[in-house]
Structure formats: C-alpha cells, structure tokens
Structure 1
Amino acid sequence: MAACLFNQNANISLNPPNQTVGTTGSASVLAISLHGIFSSIGIIENLLIVGVVGFHVRRSVISIWILNLAASDLLATAFLPFFTLYMARGNTWTLGTTFCRIYSSIFFLNMFVSGFLLAAISMDRCLVVLRPVWAQNHRDKQIVTKICGVIWALAVVCTIPFYIFRDNIHLPSGQILCYYNYAQFPPSEPYDLKVLCKQRKEALAFMKFLLAFLIPLVIIILSYAAVNSHLAGRGHRRSFRFFRLVVAVVVSFVLCWAPYHIFIIMEVMAPSGHALQKFASKGLKIAATLGFFNSVLNPILYVFSCPDLCKKIRHSLGAVMESVLTEDLAELARRRSTACSSHSTAELVMKSKVSLTTLSLKTEEEQAEIIANSDS
C-alpha cells in the first residue's frame, strides 16, 4: 500500500487543498495567511448573500438559482478554516479519518454543484429567450426548486468516490496527511497494485474534469451562443442585468477552475518522474487555492453586477440584491415608467400650486386697487 501512495509520482495527486509535506518558510506563512483571509471573507460574504436572498428578496426563479450557488459557496468557505489549521500545524491532520473524508468531499461537492448549477442556469436562460411561451407556462419556482434538489443529489453521488478513497496517511516523520489512498477496497480477483492505483487515479481525475468542468462549460457556451444568435437576429438588446451577472459568474468559474483541472490532467498523463509531472504538482498548490477563491469571488459579482450600485448602496443590501436579481427588462421598464409618472405628477402639482399662488396675488392686487380707488 505504501508503494502505491508514495514511491510512484504518478499516483500522487495534490488534490485540494494540496497535500504536500511543506516547510515553515515564508511561502508557507503566506499560504496560511491567504487561506485564513479567503475563509474569513468568504464566510461573511456568503452568509450575507444567503441571508439577504433567502429572507429579504422576493422569491423568484432567479433568486432560487443564486441562493443555491451561494449556499454551495458558503459550504466550501466554511470548511476552509480547517485546512488553514492543517497548514498551521505543519501540514499535519489531527482531526481524524472521518472528518478528513468529509472535509475533502466538501471541496468536490462545491465543484460539482457549481458546474451543474451554472449549466442549468444557462439552459434556463436559453429556454426563456428561445421558447418564451413554453417558459411562461412551465417554468415556475416549484420546478426550479426540484431541479436544484436533483443537482445537489447528483453532486453528492459524484462526490462519493472521492470520499471513500480519502484516508489518513501516517508518514515516518510523524506527520499525518489527509490524502488519497487508492489501494483501499481492493478487488477480489488477482490484481497489480501499481496498475490498480493508476487506473483509479486516472478515473477520478477524468470524471471530475468531464462532469464538473468540460460538460457544463460546453452546455454554457452552446446555450449563450443560441441566446446571442436569437437576440441578434431580432435586433434585441443583449446586455440586461442578469445576463451580465451570469456571464461574470461563468467567467469566474472558468478562470478559477480551469487551472486546477489542467494541472490534474497533466499530472495524470505525464510519465512517472517526468519534469511535466513535477511542474503540475507544484502548480496544483496554487490552482487548488484558486479554486477555493471562486467561492469568495462569486458574492462580489452578485452585488457589483448592479450598474447603479453607487446610488443604490445608500439603500439596504436587500434593495441592492433585488435590483441585481431583477427578472427581465419588463420589470425595469415598469419601474422607470412609474418613476416618470410620479415625476410628471409632481410637476403638475407644483404648476398647480404656482398657478394658485399667482391667482391669489393677482386677486389681492385687484382688491387693493379697488380699495384705493374707492378711497380716492
């Protein structure tokens, strides 16, 4: 078993957070500080988003999508402090095997949920634009809530393999790693341990690459290509608020997760001991942290996607989120129409007051003139 884990570079994977035996130099101090900052900011941000969207924003299809994304990000950032503790203790895991598996699985659960939700949101936008009548009749909050439940269930199922192969690894130096143990649960028939570990590692790497990244990304690209083509053909505007929000979240998802998956595939495919594999192992240290940063970045995008933030920041956070999650341009047009109507009414009232004042002054002048004439 030890040979499967450590004597072959091809079977070593720095899956997040990276599980290398580190030193206590300045780089480690910087990494610990960054993880501590990320976790603190991420927890506060996502708690605010979940609280505001869950309790202070009118329930809608869009708010349900955003609430589930924020809940996934909150779950990921809530477990990040445990890795900060792991790093602070010299890369030694002291919280037991069961919690090691749970903690590591949360990372992958967030990865799958984010990919599945973004793909579902993209298809939802596509249906709203391409099949508006069908969407009006069949798209409601209950359906979307059930879809989100299915997405979470699928994500849990996809996370199970990563849970069962996680283990506490005791090193001769006394360190304890929360790491992969691909030699667990061996088959009943004869097998080659080295080949078995390599096959399992490759299977898990390509599984998460396809299901959590590549397939959702293809769905996202195709959905928004169809939306853009349809709107461009009809000469409609394409830059409405929620569209910009989703594009920003998708770009953040790609930029934060693509390096991680690229380095994972590089490490799996490179020959054992090859320079490319060593490069990928080092790159995964940064890529894993970048993947966690996606959960910190999303809440910022939810808020700052509102173009009138500088004005609306004076209002409550709930009002800002309500504006960000506005379903479509019709709602915005209605509000503008109401504002214009109120402005016109106010102008009419002011004009009436001015007219009455002028009339009153004229009447007083006429009375004064009559009195003067009568005195003379």
Structure 2
Amino acid sequence: MAESPPAEQLESFLDTTVQTSTAEAAGEFILRYWAEILSLVIALVGLVGNSIVLWLLGFRTRRSPFSVYILNLAAADALFLGSYFVLCMWRIVGDFDFVILMLLWLCLLGLSYRVGLSLLAAISTERCLSVLFPLWYRCHRPKHTSVAVCSILWALQGLFWGVLVALYFLNKDQFYNYFYSFLPFVQFVWFLLLTCVLGVSSLTLVLRVQCSSQRRRPPRLYLLVLLTVLVFLLCGLPWGIVDAVRFLYGFYVIPFGLTRLLACVNSSANPFIYFFLGSQWCRRGREPLRVVLQRALGEEQVGGDGGRGTSHPNTVDKLS
C-alpha cells in the first residue's frame, strides 16, 4: 500500500492549485475584458458605416429591387450594433435590472440578428433564381417582391419577440415556459432552415461565378453577395451555432465573448464590402460615396437629377 503524502506536501499542492486557478481566472477575465472593449469599438465603427449606407440608399438614390434588400440589411446591422453598444454600456456603468436587461438583450439582438440572416437568405435566393431562371426573373418577377419580402421578415420577427415581451409583462408563468421550451426550439428550427437555404443558394452562385469567370469578369453584384455571405459564415454564423448547441446539449461550444466579437465584425463589415467593390482604384480623384455604392450594387447612373442618383430599372437584371 502506498504511503499517504505528508501534510506539508498536500498543503503545498493545494496552494499551487489555488494559485493556478486564480491565474487562469484572471487571464480569462483579462481576455474577456479586451474582447468586450474591441467589440464596442468595432460596433461604433460599424454603426457609422451602416448609417452612411442607410442615408445614401434611403435619401440619396433611387431604390432598385436589390437596393431595398441592402437598405433593410443595413438597418438590421445598425440595430444590432446600436443595441449591443447601448446594452453593454448600460451593463458596465448603469444600475440595471438584470431581468429587464436580459429581455432587451434577447429581443433587440435576437430580432436584428435573425432579420439579417433572413435577408441574406432572401438576397442569395433571389440572385440564385436570376441565374437559374433568367427569362422568368426579367419578365415575370413581381414588381414589389423586395418590399414585400422585407416587410414579412421584419413582421415575423417583430411578432415573435413582441409575444415574448407581452408574456413577460402579462403572465410571467407563461413567459418562463415560453422562454425555456418554445423559444429555443423555434430559434433552432428557423436558424437551421435559413442556414440550409443560404448554403444551397450561395453554392449555386459560386458555381455560376466559377463558370462565368472563365469567359468574362463576373458582375460586381455576384461578388458583393458572395463576399457578404462569406463574412456571415465566418463571423455571424458562430452566434447561431452557439445558441443551437446550447439548446441541444446545454453548453457553450465557443466562448460567448468571442461570438459577440465576431457578430460585431459581421455586422460592421458589409459597408466596407460595398465601398470596396464599388471603388475604381485606377481613377484619380475622389468619387462621391453615392456613386461608389451605386456601382457596387450594379446600378449605372444615367443622368444628374440634382443630387439624387438614378439608375436604369433593368440594369440589375441585365447583369444576371
């Protein structure tokens, strides 16, 4: 039988374990602290970029079917970043009610995140349809499809999260049943469905770009959609994966601070993608951001109209 270790060795071992655990906890706290600071900085930068896109598409250009989607995507990203920044600052410096803060966090961030995912799926699916059925898309596409789709997506998510808020204030017993059972299930199903749609339609576009790039340069519009989807898959998807794994298995597969940082990067990157693709680096001099954004969306300006850009209504379709 092995001898029991002396008391001095046990005490030394326990002291070392406590010091190691304390050092790990301190290191984790420092990492989480800097990740949150970086997330807040990125959220501010992204909020400015999305606000510029909202201003240009909302008041400085004539809207096309595709620009309606981009306008709503910028609104969803701006809502996500603004809500994230305000709620984080409220949690850091304010005296808050934890339940109310959690409710606002779930509703505002959950609504904006899932509307953004839904809009990306709709954008990618519509571009996919324009590739697979170009004649139908040009001739038989309903005129107000973009407005109708965006309105339905906002209404569905608003109704879903509105029911959550109403249950909290009207019937807290039903709220907790809804929160712990029905809410995670609906979120998981919606996330899984939209991710599958986004993946299939994006893969179709990739194959289309691969085939067309052998004959000519692919349109900016295809590249814009693919880059936006790629950024979401790398940076925005982990947020939904963490929620799904937590619903199925009850643990975090990725540190939550990292998913928040990546989600802020995802919502902040889109304006930079638009302006990067719309810029013509060979030209000297600075162009108005409105012109750069129109070029990125595949819209050609056909004449001056006192500061409001116009575009030919069939330009986007011809690129398909």
Normalised TM-score (structure 1): 0.62
Instruction: Confirm whether residue 301 of structure 1 aligns to residue 273 of structure 2.
Output: yes
Structure 1 residues 41-56: aligned runs within 5 Å: 41-56=45-60
Q: CA deviation at 1:58?
A: 2.9
Q: Tell me, in whole angstroms, the C-alpha distance in 1 between the residues paired with 2:200 and 2:254.
A: 34
130, 133, 136: which is aligned to 1:128? 130
Q: Tell me, in whole angstroms, the C-alpha distance in 2 between the residues paired with 1:26 and 1:233.
A: 49
Q: Which residue of 1 aligns with 2:19?
A: none
**Partner letter of residue 81 of structure 2?**
T
Instruction: Confirm whether residue 86 of structure 1 aligns to residue 64 of structure 2.
Output: no
Structure 1 residues 43-192: aligned runs within 5 Å: 43-89=47-93, 94=96, 101-139=103-141, 142-160=144-162, 163=165, 184-186=172-174
Q: Tell me, in whole angstroms, the C-alpha distance in 1 between the residues paired with 2:105 and 2:219.
A: 38
Q: Tell me, in whole angstroms, the C-alpha distance in 2 between the residues paired with 1:290 and 1:163.
A: 27
Equivalenced residue count is 277
Q: Deviations over 1:202-234 (max 9, x none)?
A: 54334223313x222221232244455567499
Q: Tell me, in whole angstroms, the C-alpha distance in 1 between the residues paired with 2:76 and 2:36.
A: 23
Q: Tell me, in whole angstroms, the C-alpha distance in 2 between the residues paired with 1:229 and 1:138.
A: 25
Q: Which residue of 1 aligns with 2:256?
A: 284
Alignment check: 8 A CA contact 2:205 2:222 kept: no
Cα-Cα RMSD: 3.7
188, 201, 214: which is aligned to 1:209? 188
Q: Which residue of 1 aligns with 2:239?
A: 260
Q: Deviations over 1:165-194 (max 9, x none)?
A: 779xxxxxxxxxxxxxxx93249xxxxxxx
Alignment check: 8 A CA contact 1:73 1:296 kept: yes
Q: State the identity %.
A: 25
Q: Tell me, in whole angstroms, the C-alpha distance in 2 between the residues paired with 1:153 and 1:133.
A: 31
Alignment check: 8 A CA contact 2:72 2:150 kept: yes
Normalised TM-score (structure 2): 0.72
Cα gap change, 1:186/1:327 in structure 2, threshold over 3 Å: closer, same or farther? Answer: same
**Partner letter of residue 120 of structure 2?**
L
Q: Which residue of 1 aligns with 2:290?
A: 318
Q: Deviations over 1:259-283 (max 9, x none)?
A: 2233333333436xxxxx3xx2771
Alignment check: 8 A CA contact 2:36 2:261 kept: no
Alignment check: 8 A CA contact 1:57 1:321 kept: no
Cα gap change, 1:290/1:159 in structure 2, threshold over 3 Å: closer, same or farther? Answer: farther
Q: Which residue of 1 aligns with 2:40?
A: 36
Q: Tell me, in whole angstroms, the C-alpha distance in 2 between the residues paired with 1:165 and 1:285.
A: 29
Q: Tell me, in whole angstroms, the C-alpha distance in 1 between the residues paired with 2:240 and 2:120.
A: 17
For structure 1, list consecutive stretches of 5 or more residues without a partner in the other structure. Answer: 1-21, 168-182, 188-195, 272-276, 335-376
**Larger Rg belongs to:** 1
For structure 2, list consecutive stretches of 5 or more residues without a partner in the other structure. Answer: 1-25, 301-313
Structure 1 residues 173-252: aligned runs within 5 Å: 184-186=172-174, 200-201=179-180, 203-212=182-191, 214-227=192-205, 232=211, 237=216, 239-252=218-231
Q: Deviations over 1:82-114 (max 9, x none)?
A: 22323423xx65268667534531111112111
**Partner letter of residue 264 of structure 1?**
D
Q: CA deviation at 1:164?
A: 5.6
Alignment check: 8 A CA contact 1:116 1:151 kept: yes
Q: CA deviation at 1:258?
A: 2.6
SS in 2 for 1:305: helix
Cα gap change, 1:296/1:225 in structure 2, threshold over 3 Å: closer, same or farther? Answer: closer
Alignment check: 8 A CA contact 2:36 2:257 kept: no
Q: CA deviation at 1:47?
A: 0.7
**Partner letter of residue 233 of structure 2?**
V
Alignment check: 8 A CA contact 2:206 2:226 kept: no
Alignment check: 8 A CA contact 1:256 1:293 kept: yes
Q: CA deviation at 1:327?
A: 4.9
Q: Tell me, in whole angstroms, the C-alpha distance in 1 between the residues paired with 2:148 and 2:106.
A: 27
